[in-house]
Amino acid sequence: MCVAVAMLVAPTGAEAACTAVQRGDTAEAIKVVAGLRAAGSSGWQDAAGVLDRSRRRCTAARFARAVAVATRGAGTPPAGRRVRVVGVDLLSTNVPGGTAWRLDVARIAARLGTARSTGAATVLRAELRSAATGGAALAWSDDPTRAGWDAGRQSAVVAGLAASHDARDAALLDAAVRAYAVPRRMAALAALPLLEHLRIANRVAAARADAGSLAARRTARALGARALLRARAARARGWSKVDGHWATLAEHRTLVAQSRALVTRVPSPAARAAVTALERTLVVAPAVAFGALPVEPFYPWPRDGAFDSQGVGLVVDKPASITLSIYAADGRVVRTVAATVDPGPGSIAWDGAGSDGAAVAPDAYRYAIDATDPAGNHMRVPGLEEFHVARDTDVPVVRSATARLVEAGHVRRIVAGWDVDEVHSPNVRSWLLLVSGSDHRSIALHTTLQQATVRRVVDLPKGTWSTAFVFLDGSGNRTSRRVAPIVVR
C-alpha cells in the first residue's frame, strides 16, 4: 500500500486488536508524519515507512511514534547519535541511502541489566521483546516493524542480559544465545573481520559458556571454537597481519587480548598454544641477547682497513630493525647506526665517526640497542661494556733492515729489505736515507708492506754513504733504523 494512502485509511484489523495506548501512539505518529511530509522534512519517507509497517504489529506503535518525533526534532543526523524520545531509546543508523532512526537495542539491554526497580525493568523488558522475533531462539532487530539479524547487535543484547539477575532475563538470554545456532548465522560470522568475530564470541561465551541451558552452552562453546580457529589461522598468514592485511600494533594487541580471554572460556590446548604463539609473535617486543662485545680498543683513523670499526654481536628472536645509539661521556648522542636483522646471530658495527662523518675524539663511548619489529613492538637494551676509540701512538717496531749495493756493468742498484711490525696502523711507508758529506739522498721505496725486499736503480758518486731506513705508519708515527753504510767504488 502507498505510504500516503496508508496514513489516511481506516484502522486495519490488526490495529483494532491493539490497546488504547498503542492506538494512541499510532494516531500521534500519523499526525507527525503528515506534518513531516507536508513540510518536505528530511527523513519523512523513512518515518512514513516505519509507520506503515507498524500498523500491522501493535507492539511497534510506540517505536513508530518515537521515529516520527525524533525525525521531526533532529532530522537524519550522522550515524551514531543517540536520543531517547517518548520513552524509547533510538540510535541514528546507516541505511541504504543515508541514515535513519532505529531502536537502540544494545542500550536497552544494558539498561535492563542494571535496572534498579522492578517497574523500570518491566518496561525495558517489554521494549526489548518488541524488537525480537522467534520463539526458543530470539533474534533482535533494530527495527521492530520487521525481522532482522546482526551478529554484533545480538551479542550486545546478550552482554546486557547477562548482567541481569532476574530469572525472566535469564530465559531471554538463553534464547538470544541459541539464535547463533542457526547454521547460516554461524557460517556468516566467518565473513566478519576477525577482531569483531572474537568480540562477539567473547560476549556470548562470557554469558553462557558455563551457565544456562545445555543448548545455550553448546552454542556458546561452538561459537568460541570457530573464532579461535580463525585466530590460529591468522598466525599462519603472516605474523604482522590480521585478515590478510597489515595491521596496527593496537589491532595486534586486541587480537591477542580477545583470543586469550576467549581461550579461558572455551578451553583447548591447541588454541591455548596458538594464542601464546600469537602473543609472542605479535605483541611481545623482540628479545635481544648480546654476543661479542666491544672490549678491545679500535683505531678508526686513518681508514687503512685495520681496526677501523668495532662491532656488537647480538641475537634476536624475530625480524627486527636495529638502531645502535652511541653516547659520549656527557650523554650526547654522537651517532646512530641502523640495520635490519633476521632471527638468530647478527651484528651491528660503528666506524668511529660522529653524525657529521668526522672522527670522534679518543674516549670511551656508551651505547644502547633499540630493536623494533615490523608490528611496532619496541625493546631498548643498554649496552654491555663500552666502545673504546683510540689513537695509535706506537711507532712501528723494526725487526730487521738491510741495504746493499749491487753493480751490474754500469748499472748500480740498491737492494733494500726490511721486516717491521705495526698492528694498529699496518700501512707502513718506507724510505731509504743516504748521506755522504753534504750530499743527502732520499729514496722512496713505494710500498706499504711491512715485510719486503725491493731493488732501486741509483746514481751515486763514489764514496761512503751512511744509510738509514725511515718507517712511517698510517697514524703518523715515525721510526728509523741505521744499517751498514753503502760504499761506492
Per-residue pLDDT of the chain (489 residues; tens, 9 = 90+): 344 434 444 455 566 678 999 999 999 999 999 999 999 999 999 999 999 999 988 889 999 999 999 999 998 889 999 999 999 999 999 998 899 999 999 999 999 989 889 999 999 998 898 889 888 899 999 999 998 899 999 999 999 999 998 989 999 999 999 999 999 999 999 999 889 999 999 999 999 888 889 999 999 999 999 999 888 776 555 445 567 665 666 777 888 899 999 999 998 888 888 888 777 767 778 888 888 888 788 888 777 777 888 899 999 988 899 999 999 988 889 999 999 999 999 999 999 999 999 889 999 999 989 999 887 888 888 888 889 998 888 899 999 999 999 998 889 999 999 999 988 778 888 999 999 999 999 999 977 888 999 999 999 999 999 999 999 888 888 999 999 999 998
Q: What is the pLDDT of residue 272?
A: 87
6-47 pLDDT tens trace: 444 445 556 667 899 999 999 999 999 999 999 999 999 999
Q: What is the pLDDT of residue 84?
A: 94
Instruction: Evaluate whether 472 touches 448 at the Cβ level (below 8 Å).
Output: no
Closest CA to 256 of 240, 268, 269: 240
What pTM did the predictor assign?
0.61
Instruction: Evaluate whether 448 touches 427 at the Cβ level (below 8 Å).
Output: yes
Name, in order, each residue with C-beta under 8 angstroms of 252's C-beta and a sequence gap of 6 or more: 240, 242, 282, 283, 375
Q: What is the pLDDT of residue 321?
A: 93
Report the 10 Å Cβ neighbour count for 411: 10
Q: What is the pLDDT of residue 359?
A: 86
Q: Is 247 helix (H, G, I), strand (E, B) or coil?
A: coil
Element (H or E) spanning 234, and its range?
Answer: helix 214-236
Grid cell digits, residue 382: 643498554
DSSP 437: T
Q: What is the pLDDT of residue 406?
A: 94
Q: What is the pLDDT of residue 450?
A: 87
Distances (CA, A) of 264 to 189, 221, 252, 271: 21, 11, 19, 10
Q: Is 368 helix (H, G, I), strand (E, B) or coil?
A: strand
173-200 pLDDT tens trace: 999 999 999 999 999 999 998 899 999 9
Instruction: Evaluate whether 68 touches 31 at the Cβ level (below 8 Å).
Output: no
Q: Is 473 helix (H, G, I), strand (E, B) or coil?
A: coil
Write down the residue that cell numbers 511497534 correspond to.
Answer: 60
Instruction: Evaluate whether 389 touches 297 at the Cβ level (below 8 Å).
Output: yes
Residues 486, 404: Cα–Cα separation, whole Å = 6
Residues 155, 142: Cα–Cα separation, whole Å = 13
Q: What is the pLDDT of residue 246?
A: 57
